[in-house]
Chain A
Amino acid sequence: MALNQKIKKIALGLGLVLLAIVLGSGIGIYNIASGKSSSQRVIGNWQTVDKDKDLNTADLLTIAQISVYGTYALTKKEVIYLSTNTDSEGNAIDPKSDYVISGKNLDAKYWSITAYDQDGFLIKNPINTYSYNLETVKYEADSTSYKINLAASEKKENWLPINNVKKATLVIRLYLPSDALRNNLTVETLPTIQKVK
């Protein structure tokens, strides 16, 4: 009887240790998948790395998140990445709706806006267009403003297709941004995303 109880105690103890391992690892995986970390900075609906932090000096959680969802990213010295999966109202981008991304030419050596699917990969589409950049976007009459049509249905100009996806994410890349832009990344300088249909 006493031996039986001892075995039960040991089994319970081992079970609790196993539970602690699963719980610890599970929370780790959940936090990586959540995409939230203390190194994040939010500018309107865009997310980027905090002003005082960088990808190579960030906390362990941020490094893990970047390794999974933005593998081999560069540090802020070279590129500033901004991402969103919501419109400017804060609502999730609905791939069945139409949106207009409005912005102005950004003061960087090279900038682009790219659309990705729910897994972070490029979206197959009939015009083989996955992004617009400072050279490929068609500007308005003032030669500095642009409107990109983010939609599943065909558009005449600046169409960035998001067809046949469950979820869409947009990423802005600012390669070698000017100091002025680097120090003035605000809702006003970044493109807006408005739902039109």
Chain B
Amino acid sequence: MAATKPLIKKGIFALVLVAIAVSFYYLTIWATPYYVQNKFAEKSLGFVNTPRFGEQPNPENNRVIPLPNPDFLYSTINYDLNDSVLKISGVVPDSTYWSISAYQENTTNYFVENEEKVKAKFEYYLAPEGSTSDALKNIPKEKIIYSPTTKGLILFRYLVSKAYPVKTLAELQHGVTVEKLAK
């Protein structure tokens, strides 16, 4: 009995070590997307809840986010809904691909709409999930984007095409506005 006690102790310790290794494995893969989003947010410091308008990606101007699509103009809004609900509005091109998409804090996409559904103009209200803000009263449901996390990213994609060359698209791109509404 006395001889088996140290063996049991060693066995328990070995199990604890395995549990620690497994926990850190899952912690690493769970935390990585948050790290990526934070890195991007750091680069957008000073531009929270403000639209940023990107140029058409090329090898010189795009070395941050991998796999950029060179056929697109991208705009981003790095958002933080701690203090406000955001009203995002702008104009939609009619004959080239356009989309607005939203990503939660772990970079997972939770919302997307494109020009086939949204015609001419768009107006969205971005609020944290479960928000009871007065700013959302009388706003149609389809215009509200509920974010599962208070921080995240809105991404616009504009396809450069024969119908919409860069210059024309850039005008639409720069027409996007973000208004902070009281929470």
Chain A residues at the B interface, C-beta cutoff of 8 Å: 13, 16-17, 19-21, 23-25, 27-29, 31-32, 55-56, 60-61, 63-64, 66-75, 77-78, 109-110, 112, 114, 116, 119-124, 128, 130-131, 133, 135, 171, 173, 175-176
Contacts and interface: CB of A to CB of B under 8 A. Distances in A.
Contact of A71 (B18, B21, B65): B65
Nearest to B26: A60
B60 A20 contact: no
B175 to A, nearest CB: 22
Interface of B: 13, 17-18, 20-30, 32-33, 36-37, 40, 57-60, 62-63, 65-71, 97, 99, 101, 103, 106-110, 112, 114, 116, 153, 155, 159, 161-162
A60 B29 CA distance: 6
A56 B70 contact: no
A121 B59 contact: yes
Tell me the interface secondary structure of chain B in the complex.
mixed
A21 B20 contact: yes
Contact of A64 (B32, B65, B97, B112): B32
A122 B62 contact: yes
Tell me the interface secondary structure of chain A in the complex.
mixed
A76 B128 CA distance: 24
Contacts of A32: 28-29, 32
A164 B30 CA distance: 35
A171 B36 contact: no
A56 to B, nearest CB: 5
Which 10 pairs between the two chains have the least Cβ-Cβ distance? A28-B28, A24-B24, A120-B66, A67-B33, A24-B21, A124-B59, A130-B70, A20-B20, A20-B21, A24-B25
Nearest to B34: A67
A131 B28 contact: no
B41 to A, nearest CB: 12
A122 B29 contact: no
